[in-house]
Structure 1
Amino acid sequence: MDELPNSLVLEILSRVRDSAGVFRCRHLSKTLNSIAPEIRSADLYCSYNRYVKSRSPPVAVTPFKEAFRKLLSQLNVVEAVSIGVEKPLGPNTYNDVEDEDDLFLTDVDFLKEWLPEASADLRSLSISDFWVQSCWRRSDALSIISSLAVKLVRLDLRNAWLSVDNLIPMANLTSLTLEFIRLDDENLNRLNECFPYLHELNLIGVGGLKEPYLHLLQLKTCQWLLSNAPTSISVTAPSLQSLSLKCVDPHRLLIETPSISMLNLSLESAANFRAQEFGCLRKLRLESANLHSLICRFPSGKTVTDVTAVSLKPLTAVPRPSILGLLLSTFPNMCSLTLAAGTWLEMESCFSTGSLEPCEGMKALREMKAYLTLSDADLTHSTILFLLDHCVSLRRMSLLVHCDVVSKVTQSLVSICRAYKPEVSWRWGLWKEGSEDIRIEEGDLY
């Protein structure tokens, strides 16, 4: 360590997530000891083991808040702070914690103890609270942060009950994440007013919303996952380029985002969906319990080239037109298509009844990806061969088979497809609910 350049040592130390661990080891090296105070970020997270030890007398464990304050006092300049409780603690229920507050990290008194001195150069702040201690304590953390950390560019808050009382506009803030937050701003009026220059916004599981309305002129990317069912949802963002929106069944859903190029939309029902024409949209993911209705209500997508279609409910009747025909007519310039398992089964049903018919749009498809269950292997084979016959421009086909399918059945599918269209670039893989896809490129599955 002592032989390395100081700049390299500082760079390495700055990337270590556990800042407390760095300072515990500083006396092992002269270089480490001299450089440690130059680290400009403080990262401290309470692990499950630390939590258990702190509640098991006579084991002596420094209180978490005290450990954080001590860590912060050893830094010359603080540009980023990240503190919190590790996720394994989050969903668990613990007894006898109602009166404790050592892990109540959005506590105003705690913030006032360290934020005034650290705020001068602070650019990034992340607090992941302990929900068991924070859920019943309403916090004015936003007011304190907005009044003291005026240079803040990025703010992430998780697992807390937040008030917007006395919230001051933050002109420098460009990135905001609120995750699993109870927010006393039912229509997001204060959020729109006080964070006008946001470029990135993530609202994940934010509760307490009634008729939320996003009106942010500078916003570029937005991820919005609603945990409850507001009566009305509106998004007006003229500069927005990427939007991921998941909600249940609002009485009114309005999207006005003329510059958007990537849209991920998940709805239980599309009955109340309304959107302006998307003149710049390129990549689209649609997920719904009534996918046909959502596609039919979608404005004509002539600019869309990449589509993913996900059906949330099993097919009860064979639809007309087929899901593929409907997609091709709505998005006539689509060249890449991904069909989730439920959507693929709908297409198989259409093929088996003769309602999957050749159409002009098939000729434009160049790439397709399908999630297969092989519940009827012969029908799956026939459907794939039908597509290969009519999608004459197809150059790449990715087939992901459910991991529970018997290997012999999968190998048979592999052999048939390769022999039928060897000029197509084939990709094979496995999928499982709730897990990452396992892909084997241009190789056998087994």
Structure 2
Amino acid sequence: MDKLPESLLLEILSRLDNSADVARCRVASKAFNNIFPDLRSIKLLCSRKWCKNSSSMTSICFKKVFVDLISKLRVVESVCIRLQEAVDVDPADKDFAKEWLPMVSQTLKSLSLSGLPFPRLSQLNILPLISKYCHNLAELNLRSAWLSVYNLNPMPMLTSLTLSYTILQDQHLNQFNKCFPNLHVLKLEGVTGLKEPKIHLLNLQTCHWYDNNQLSLTLITPNLITLRIECLCYTAIHVEAPMLSHFHLILNTLKHAGFLLSEFPTTKTVETFILDSRSKAPGDARYSKLTLGKVFRVFPNVSSLRINSGAWSELDGWEILDGRIGLKTICAYLKLFDPSLTFSYVARGLDRCVGLSEVSLLIHRGVDGTQYKSFMFKCMARWPGLKWRWGIWGEDMEDFWITNAIDI
């Protein structure tokens, strides 16, 4: 090990997913110990197994190891602390944070603190400490914490913020907008404590709003390009985003979609539209409140349309695609409950898309291979002029694209 180049030793340490393993490598190898101070990131994952292996079931060992690691690094640019299960450690402990945050205040660019999900969220508001010490922080990720932005120092260097399953004391996001004026990326996932929130950020380019159980949301974002909205209830969404080009909409059922889209002004800049429903059972388009007619009235210049599996059987109104030269690509996730019915449904759309050039179809991994191939060859024979892409999808797997029918 001592004969390996220092650059390779540093690369090995930097690829370890848990800094606890880095600490063990330091003990096992003098070469690793010598090169360790050149690391620029700490990622400590805390679990019962980790504590047991460290001969302690308390937070003392965890904090000692963390402070020892961070104090020996020459430059610290990234810190991640994540709890993997119930242990006696709180990443948002202010006394703990006061011990190490000043050490990295000048160089820290990325900070991620992830506690346990509700109801065991941290009751300590760590945001003021972060704003006090981390003047050059660019990326912040906080999960399962109680937060308040009142009396918070503005953080103009912060460009990416993710808050997950937190309580945020700023009902309308007025102080929030003032404290984080230069955000480019904002993700609010399961945030409670809000009431008629308004996101008014002039530099925001990407926004992800997930399941925050709000009856209304206002977005005033002149530079927003990508918007992803996931909601379970009826939500009135007002959007002023003249640069928006990518819109991803995920609903509990498409019965809510018609109401939601009615709040949108006609947006001619959207080129990519992705539609999904969390509904797992086969639906009936007759009961849907959403048709493609409504989609294209709101987003008339969509050139790329993706329909995920839950939305497929609920969506109606393929006739609106008549003569749509602008629509170039369609991607759909299918389950093939009834292959003949699914094929006729696909035909209703593809026969009307005169400008279409590429179709991507992903079939659920539970479909028999013979049935998959039959459906695939039938589609390719019906529309030989289209460019076809085929794949397999599943609820707990990444999409797998097929290059050869034999792979099915």
Shorter-chain TM band: 0.7 to 0.9
Whether the 8 Å CA contact 2:235–2:260 is kept in 1: the answer is no
Partner of 1:282: none
- Tell me what 2:64 maps to: 66
CA 1:48–1:262: 2 relative to 1, 3 Å: farther
The answer to whether the aligner puts 1:193 opposite 2:178 as a matched pair is yes
Whole-angstrom CA distance in 2 between matches of 1:127 and 1:342: 33
Shift of 1:393: 3.9
Q: Which residue of 1 aligns with 2:218?
A: 234
Contact 1:398/1:427, CA 8 A, preserved across alignment: yes
The match for 1:162 is 147
Q: Residue 338 of structure 1: which of 299, 306, 330 is its match?
A: 306
Cα distance 1:358–1:20, how it changes in 2: closer, same or farther (>3 A)? closer
Does structure 2 conserve the Cα–Cα contact (< 8 Å) formed by 1:323 and 1:343? no
**Correspondence for 1:360 among 309, 312, 323:** 323
The residue matched to 2:190 in structure 1 has which SS? strand
Counterpart amino acid of 1:193?
Answer: K
Task: For 2:165 and 2:268, locate their aligned partners in 1 and report how far apart those are by CA, in whole Å.
Answer: 37
What does 1:18-417 align with in structure 2 at a 5 Å threshold? 18-26=18-26, 28-51=28-51, 63-86=61-84, 89=85, 102-131=88-117, 135=121, 137-227=122-212, 229-249=213-233, 252-266=236-250, 288-295=254-261, 298-311=264-277, 314-315=283-284, 317=286, 323-328=291-296, 331-346=299-314, 356=319, 359-361=322-324, 363-417=325-379
Q: 1:158-196 CA distances to partner (integer Å, 9 max, x unpaired)?
A: 121223343111222222221121222222222212111
* Bigger Cα displacement from structure 2, 178-187 vs 126-135: 126-135
Looking at structure 2, the residues matched to 329 and 194 of structure 1 have their Cα atoms a distance apart, in angstroms, of: 37
In the superposition, relative to structure 1, how do residues 186 and 294 fare at CA in structure 2: closer, same or farther (>3 Å)? closer
Distance 1:183 1:414, change over 3 A: same
In structure 2, give the amino acid aligned to 1:46: C
Instruction: Identify which range, 400-409 or 197-206, moves more after superposition.
Output: 400-409
2:293/2:317 contact within 8 Å kept: no
CA contact (8 A) 2:274 2:307 kept: yes
Residue 84 of structure 1 aligns to a residue whose secondary structure is: strand
Structure 1 257/424 Cα, relative in aligned 2: closer, same or farther at 3 Å?
closer
Does structure 1 retain, via aligned residues, the 8 Å contact 2:249–2:275? no
* Distance change (3 Å), C-alpha of 1:189 and 1:39: same
Amino acid at match of 1:106: A
- Structure 1: how far apart are the matches of 2:118 and 2:276? 35
2:360 aligns to what SS in structure 1? strand
Give secondary structure in 1 for the equivalent of 2:356: coil
Alpha-carbon spacing, 1:49–1:391, altered in 2? closer, same or farther (3 Å): same
Once the two structures are superposed, what CA deviation does each residue of 1:393-421 show, in whole Å capped at 9, x if it has no partner? 43322222233334443332223223333
Taking the aligned partners of 2:338 and 2:235, their CA distance within structure 1 comes to 39
Counterpart of 1:405 in 2: which secondary structure?
Answer: coil
Structure 1 residue 218 displacement after superposition = 1.9
Residues 38 and 233 of structure 1: CA distance in aligned 2, closer, same or farther (over 3 Å): same
What is aligned with 1:281? none
- Once the two structures are TM-superposed, the CA of residue 445 in structure 1 deviates from its matched residue by 5.7
Q: Offset at 1:289? A: 2.8
Instruction: Return the TM-score normalized by structure 1.
Output: 0.78
- Give 1:151 deviation, angstroms: 2.2
